[in-house]
Amino acid sequence: MKGYLKPGYSLAGRIDRTLSTHPEPLFPLHTDEYWMEQALIESMNATGLSQPNPSVGCVLVKGTQEIARGFTQAYRQAHAERDAFSRIPSGTTLEEVTAYVTLEPCSHFGFQPPCVDLLLKSPIPRIVIAALDPDPRVNGEGIQKLRAAGKTVELQVLDEEARALNHPFFKTRSTQKTVWIGKWAQMPSGHLADLHGNSKWITGEKSRAYTHWLRQKYDCIVVGASTFLKDQPKLTVRDCAYPHHRNPTRFVFDPQGKLLHLPVESLDGFKVLVSKSVLAQHSGVSSEIFVPIPVTPDSPDLAAAFRETLDSLAFERPLQSVMIEGGPRLLNLLLGAGKLDALHIFTGQQKFLELSERERIAWIPDESWSCAASHKFDDDLLQEWVKKD
């Protein structure tokens, strides 16, 4: 199935950029689409760095020559436009420059002054913008100010691609809720593992590298207790393209308390979500590591309680996105309860002889889902789905 994003794009941005630092352009040289693609590629340097602010890129072009580019810096620091302006070579005049920005310049004071004021004070005559900012403090106001000052403003160049890259940012602005994403690798039959829970390796190196890029894109990663015990996953970003800004905060979903008997050091920095009733049966466990879910393991409200518990925890930065990496029981629980907002599904050609329905994902897309992207990583097929608003 073909996605609505342009070929070569996904919910992570330019797909080749997640594997290589120098992807080839997909659009004719020096067109608006070409330069906006460059701005989008630049914005990916902010993945894992700018959250909860969106990853934004800005490229300044004079004629057919790029003069500067920039991307959103760490949370509360410079936005893409200011980063690009700081890199303009000394003595460069801006009267014939076009600014390509992947998100509407902000028009309000936050931790940084309004980027639209920077453009208004400059002689830059033309600004090309991919996506409008959904923040109610902006939401078209920046564009109105630019046009009122006599600037030429072009809109919606690679709009869908810019919005997809920042899907959690746009989604949280419309719902005021954390975005939850499912990711899994399956055989053509839909099984994630064989009868005994063995799953290595269903997909190839490129699929795994792309997954690692996703890990730094999302704030928090969760696996089920069985997956943790079987695979001892690291859930790091080691194999994707640079820069590597962060490894995600890592959790294990363990309502039955399977991990309570393990030494704390074997948890390797993971935090564990356990049913409150199970946790109450064990004394002396660390409250910093084991987090109570306020329902029993067999409660019909387990999925909702799990999501609400994790969403309510205190993090270093505001929590915007959570990726569920498995296993099948956890994914089926959340899919069945309608608690996932987007999906990254990898289908490899690996086939196991002994299979069990317990290791199969019971999900078929319906009209409430939209296919965003479809891409081949060698023999693997990636499909990405987004829950419609």
Q: Which residues are catalytic?
A: 81
Q: How far is CA 169 from CA 48, 55, 160, 189, in A?
A: 13, 9, 14, 34
The span from the CA of 215 to the CA of 183, in Å, is: 10
Residue identified by tokens 């994902």 is 361
What number of H helices and E strands is found in the chain?
A: 12, 16
DSSP letter for each residue of 323-349: EEEE-HHHHHHHHHTT--SEEEEEE-S
Question: Three-class SS string for 350-372?
Answer: CCCCCCCHHHECCCCCCCCEEEE
Crossing angle for the helix pair 328-336 and 302-312, to the nearest 10 degrees: 100
Q: Is 295 strand, coil or helix?
A: coil
Q: Quote the CA–CA distance of 53 and 71 in Å, as a whole number.
A: 11
| Alpha helix (H) residue ranges in the chain | 15-19, 32-43, 80-85, 115-121, 141-148, 159-165, 167-175, 205-217, 225-231, 276-279, 302-312, 328-336
Q: Please say whether the beta carbons of 322 and 157 come within 8 A.
A: no
Tokens 């946790």 correspond to 279
251 — phi, psi (to 5°)?
Answer: -130, 155
The CA distance from 132 to 163, in Å, is 9
How far is residue 268's CA from residue 294's CA, in Å, rounded to a whole number?
A: 25
Q: Is 117 helix (H, G, I), strand (E, B) or coil?
A: helix
Burial class (CB in 10 A: 0-12, 13-18, 19+), 360: middle
